[in-house]
Structure 1
Amino acid sequence: MKFPRASTRPAFVLGLVLSVGGCGTYVPELREFPNYTQADTQNMIDAIVQSVRCELSHAITAVVDNDISEARLRQSKRTYSDFLGGWGAEVALTFTVVEKTSGAPSVLWTPPSPAASVFTLSTGVSGSAQATRIEKMNFFYTVAELYGLPCKGSDIRYDSFLIQNDLKIADLLLGRIGPASLGTVHTPGAGQKNVLSHEISFQIVTSGNATPMLKLVRATINPSGPLFSVGRDRTHDLLITFGPIAGGGKSLIAIAEQSHFSSQITSGVTTGFRSTLAP
């Protein structure tokens, strides 16, 4: 690897710092540097939606087929996943990007002093800027349309861990069907209190700083602490709520919709706190 010459190193380091995050005074991009175009962003969103739908389909199909297969071995020949036929899945995607920039130049002045005393004067100023972008998307699927759906997720990750990842959706469904098959609980009926919720959040935080120092005869510029620092915090959150379908067939029953909405509020508050506390 060939390193830059000494004369170009300050500019090289500053370029690396700037590539980590923006200045906090404009709307952040959803994708990472240098994939900033509108087409790049749309490709990422399309890949996430496609991948999540495939994960839902694979999980539902595997759980239902496994239940049917095991029913042949049960004395009762009963299946316990039938209730899913009248259920749906509300899916919410939330993208949160926070970019921060701070600067704190300082000067340490050391004027001539008598031999019996030493006098120094330290001065400094500081400032910061922060920009936050939050985008939310909601989708609704019926379990019936997802079952056996032939699909293939994206082959490219596109800057999100929600793509090409085992989202553990099958574990959620098996966690509800398993106790019913053991006789410890009843399978969900037509009641108004049947809700399953699954949330996944991926957060990536990067930061960088630069501290050039200049020593003069009677003063030192930036003797300590970073002169300039930037940070980029991005969170991709997925919320899936399963529940019985309402009469019109286009949404979940009221209690499931309320649970979905409440989970979104909780997720937003949690993400806000994490972003505030991040460096």
Structure 2
Amino acid sequence: MGLLLLGGLGGCGTYVPELRDWPNNNDQGATMMLSAIVHSVECELKHTITKVVSHDVIAARSRASHRTYTDFLNDWGAEVAFTFTIVEKAGINPNAVWMPLSPMSAVFTLGGDVNLSAQATRIEKLNFFYKVKDLFLRDGQTCDASGEDPSGSFLIKNDLKLGELFDFRLVPVTTGHASAPAGDKNVLQHQITFQVVSSGGLTPTWQLTRGTINGTGTFLSGSRDRTHDLVITFGPLDKPSGGRSLIGIAESAHVTSQLTGGVGTAFRSTVGR
């Protein structure tokens, strides 16, 4: 098992890492994975928006005011950012202990070791923009990601809990404990990070008459750390731009989350060395 793992991690840190794990570590495999991620998250967005708005419309019929609380979404947008970070590391640490012939009353050994390591990091970013009203599935419209292969990423065909984001914001409004989102100071944001680490080591040992080679430590090691990060920022559309972007405060929140997410990923990678 260790040999198979090391085979998959062979050459870690000495070339640009592939986006997808072995045995699908090729351009076609990476393209299929990215396409599946984008399609799956887009469907999750559409199903969530459709469910939230539809439930609000149905609930409004039984309210004394017949008021709907999701109307603000008609003038909102969603900015989606994917960040894929792959860190591969390899290390070699040969060591030896030499034991020359010595008198019975004396014991002398000479030890030595060498440490060599390499690390390669690859970061890819994808950004998409949607108008929330375009995400609503009307009669006859569907978005089906059930056929996507989920093996490439946990972002594929996973419950991303987007519905809870809107519940947390709308429930206080419907119960009268908060006002509905309005103006240019409202932002909703959802961030998810999945990190998967694979590592392995191999240590052949030789016991000789006058020495021991690789008697301690790990001779050959390799690891692959891949982080898939998703940031979704909902906010009012920027009217001066014709609704092609979010308002400034939402854009700033979106960029800040990507920056802090990148710093956190780098920190976890460094600590894991």
Q: TM-score if structure 1 supplies the norm length?
A: 0.93
Cα distance, 1:106–1:205 mapped onto 2, change above 3 Å = same
Give matches, 1:4-153, under 5 Å: 13-20=2-9, 22-148=11-137, 150-153=142-145
Paired position in structure 2 for 1:3? none
Q: Which amino acid aligns with 2:25?
A: Y
Contact 2:2 2:200 (C-alpha < 8 Å) held by counterparts: no
1:174 and 1:22 map into 2 onto residues whose CA distance is 47
Q: Which amino acid aligns with 1:265?
A: L
1:23 and 1:60 map into 2 onto residues whose CA distance is 42
Equivalent residue for 1:168, pick from 150, 161, 169:
161
TM-superposed CA distance for 1:188, in Å, is 1.2
Contact 1:205 1:278 (C-alpha < 8 Å) held by counterparts: no
Deviations 1:66-98, CA, capped at 9 Å, x for gaps: 111111111111111111111010000000000
Paired position in structure 2 for 1:179? 172
2:203 and 2:21 map into 1 onto residues whose CA distance is 25
Equivalent residue for 1:266, pick from 256, 260, 266:
260
2:85 and 2:54 map into 1 onto residues whose CA distance is 37
TM-superposed CA distance for 1:22, in Å, is 3.7
1:15 and 1:80 map into 2 onto residues whose CA distance is 55
Q: Which amino acid aligns with 2:246?
A: L
Paired position in structure 2 for 1:217? 209
1:139 and 1:242 map into 2 onto residues whose CA distance is 12
Deviations 1:173-224, CA, capped at 9 Å, x for gaps: 11111111011111011x2211011000000001000000001100100011
Cα distance, 1:21–1:172 mapped onto 2, change above 3 Å = farther
1:14 and 1:74 map into 2 onto residues whose CA distance is 65
Equivalent residue for 2:243, pick from 229, 246, 249:
249
Q: TM-score if structure 2 supplies the norm length?
A: 0.95
Structure 1 unaligned residues grouped into runs of 5+: 1-11
After superposing the two structures, state which structure 1 stretch, 209-218 or 154-163, moved more: 154-163
TM-superposed CA distance for 1:159, in Å, is 1.1
Structure 1: which 4+ aligned runs deviate by more than 4 Å? Answer: none
Structure 2 unaligned residues grouped into runs of 5+: none
Identity %: 54
2:125 and 2:11 map into 1 onto residues whose CA distance is 22
TM-superposed CA distance for 1:171, in Å, is 0.6
TM-superposed CA distance for 1:13, in Å, is 4.9
